[in-house]
């Protein structure tokens, strides 16, 4: 298989006069030699770790760097890569001729990298205008499982939310997360001969690890009167509910970890930080608020993203059942996006810091092994802007006191009204933004991500890097009516 972008990158570096024979390059800090080494790494990967910062574009990364380590500092994970690029993320409209939709959502962008197909917003691994079950394009996890690779899905959101769902399910509407949420997906109901909701499909794919929130989706009763959680246990999953469960769980079974606070939400995990939301005019000290790095609403029973990722890596690399074939792990920092929607800069930055720790773990894992491709990116751009401190621009602003003892002012101006910190009233949901987003990569085939790619290109790169089988279409189980498409 030809990795044309990697080959082109290596040739370009060589053309600049950098030795590629293994001889040390005399440059300021050895970066040239490391770039060459990475650019030349065309061999296939055994493993892939794909890390998605939901809503994570250059602006929230920059804001996190400025606040956490300073304008001249480096984030240990996100700034630890030398091969970088950008990707375009547009979706398409539902109706023919399926013109570009320049401001996509997580369902359509996730479908693009998981299947290689553009789709319309809110669809999970299905094509625009077609709500017929089966015949949908296979996703990367399905191809990996067909080859015998282990797969794992880790998120701080509901495990049935859009980004994790694109590796586990096919539904025409992202809200069809449990069997009682199928109003928008009637043809996909199990009782109608379809594959069922996202939670129902997730436990039928052979996925080794599913970690996050979303217990309320699995507690729902399916069309046959049985809960999805009961079905998961019958399918062989060991169900985990707390950090303690996670730490002590043996690795003899597939793991389904639903770690949300079931008494309060049954959905997303709590964010790690909290602070004063953005408002108009901005509230809090003129010298900037200091974010609270210990959110009091976050229970001790909830594991962190990096703790879930570490356990997932242990499960995916344990000896036995085809361990030598490798794995595909997807890790999502979901609430970067969710707190940007709420115009809450402390929470969004805190989730980016937590995501950065997960990135560092993956990068260290890959550097130690040498056979793992790590790719870090966002799914779409979002609303955070860095603006002149001390001003009151249109939109909702918040001033933060950085570690450099300077004021960092962040603004959110894609929706009104703003949150009201004095009453606790939430504002309107800030909207996504359509800019391209950053991509960084390390390991075999990392050079394929340098320059400008589209998110559909990533499907092809992952498939080639792991030498996965040719993509097919989903099929109905034996004995199930399979309507023509």
Catalytic residues: 106
**How far from each other are the two terminal CA atoms of the chain, in whole angstroms?**
33
Instruction: Return the C-alpha torsion angle 382, 387, 391, 392, nearest 10.
Output: -10
How many whole angstroms separate alpha carbon 268 and alpha carbon 336? 12
Contacts of 350 (CB under 8 A, 6+ apart): 271, 272, 273, 274, 291, 293, 295
Contacts of 49 (CB under 8 A, 6+ apart): 329, 331, 362, 365, 366, 372, 373, 374, 375
CA-based nearest residue to 146, from 457, 395, 466, 376:
466
Instruction: Return the C-alpha torsion angle 349, 355, 361, 365, nearest 10.
Output: -140
Contact 274, 265 (CB under 8 A): no
Q: Give start and end residues of each alpha helix (H) in 178-270.
A: 198-202, 215-218, 228-234, 243-248
Point out which residues pair with 397 in neighbouring strands. Answer: 279, 411
How many whole angstroms separate alpha carbon 299 and alpha carbon 214? 16
Q: Rounded to 5 degrees, what are φ and ψ at 124? A: -115, 105
Q: Which residue has the tokens 């574009």?
A: 57
Task: State the burial class of residue 99 (Cβ atoms within 10 Å of its Cβ: 0-12, 13-18, 19+).
Answer: exposed
User: How large is the C-alpha radius of gyration of the chain?
Assistant: 22
Name the token pair of 16.
Answer: 């600049």
Q: How many Cα neighbours within 13 Å face the side chain of 356? A: 22
Q: Is the dihedral of CA 33, 35, 36, 37 positive or negative?
A: positive
Q: Give start and end residues of each alpha helix (H) in 1-87.
A: 4-15, 31-39, 58-68
Q: Rounded to 5 degrees, what are φ and ψ at 239? A: -90, 130
């Amino acid at each position: 298989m030809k990795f044309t972008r990697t080959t082109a990158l290596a040739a370009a570096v060589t053309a600049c006069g950098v030795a590629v024979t293994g001889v040390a390059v005399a440059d300021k800090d050895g970066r040239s030699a490391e770039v060459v080494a990475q650019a030349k790494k065309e061999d296939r990967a055994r493993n892939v770790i794909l890390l998605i910062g939901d809503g994570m574009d250059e602006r929230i990364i920059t804001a996190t760097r400025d606040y956490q380590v300073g304008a001249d500092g480096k984030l240990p994970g996100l700034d630890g890569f030398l091969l970088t690029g950008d990707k375009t993320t547009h979706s398409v409209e539902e109706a023919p001729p399926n013109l570009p939709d320049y401001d996509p959502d997580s369902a359509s962008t996730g479908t693009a990298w998981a299947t290689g197909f553009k789709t319309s917003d809110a669809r999970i691994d299905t094509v625009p205008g077609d709500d017929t079950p089966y015949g949908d394009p296979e996703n990367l996890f399905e191809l990996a499982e067909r080859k015998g690779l282990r797969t794992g899905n880790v998120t701080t959101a509901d495990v049935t939310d859009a980004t994790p769902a694109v590796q586990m399910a096919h539904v025409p509407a992202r809200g069809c997360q449990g069997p009682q949420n199928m109003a928008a997906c009637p043809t996909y109901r199990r009782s109608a001969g379809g594959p069922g909701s996202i939670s129902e499909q997730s436990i039928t794919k052979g996925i080794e690890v599913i970690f996050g929130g979303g217990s309320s989706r699995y507690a729902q009763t399916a069309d046959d009167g049985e809960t999805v959680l009961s079905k998961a246990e019958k399918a062989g999953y060991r169900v985990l509910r707390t950090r303690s469960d996670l730490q002590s769980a043996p690795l003899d079974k597939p793991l389904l970890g639903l770690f949300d606070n079931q008494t309060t939400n049954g959905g997303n995990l709590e964010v790690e930080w909290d602070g004063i939301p953005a408002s108009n005019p901005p509230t809090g000290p003129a010298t900037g608020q200091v974010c609270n790095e210990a959110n009091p609403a976050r229970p001790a029973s909830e594991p962190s993203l990096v703790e879930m990722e570490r356990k997932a890596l242990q499960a995916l690399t344990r000896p036995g059942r085809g361990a030598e074939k490798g794995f595909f792990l997807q890790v999502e920092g979901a609430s970067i996006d969710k707190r940007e929607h709420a115009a809450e800069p402390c929470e969004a930055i805190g989730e980016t810091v937590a995501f950065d720790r997960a990135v560092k773990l993956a990068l260290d894992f890959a550097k130690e092994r040498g056979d793992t491709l790590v790719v870090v990116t966002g799914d779409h751009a979002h609303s955070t802007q860095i603006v002149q401190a001390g001003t009151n621009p249109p939109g909702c602003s918040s001033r933060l006191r950085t570690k450099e003892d300077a004021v960092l002012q962040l603004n959110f101006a894609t929706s009104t009204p703003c949150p009201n910190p004095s009453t606790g009233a939430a504002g309107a949901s800030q909207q996504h933004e359509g800019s391209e987003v950053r991509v960084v990569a390390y390991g075999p085939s990392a050079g394929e991500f340098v320059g400008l790619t589209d998110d559909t290109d990533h499907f092809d790169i992952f498939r080639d890097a792991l030498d996965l089988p040719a993509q097919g279409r989903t099929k109905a189980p034996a004995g199930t009516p399979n309507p023509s498409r």
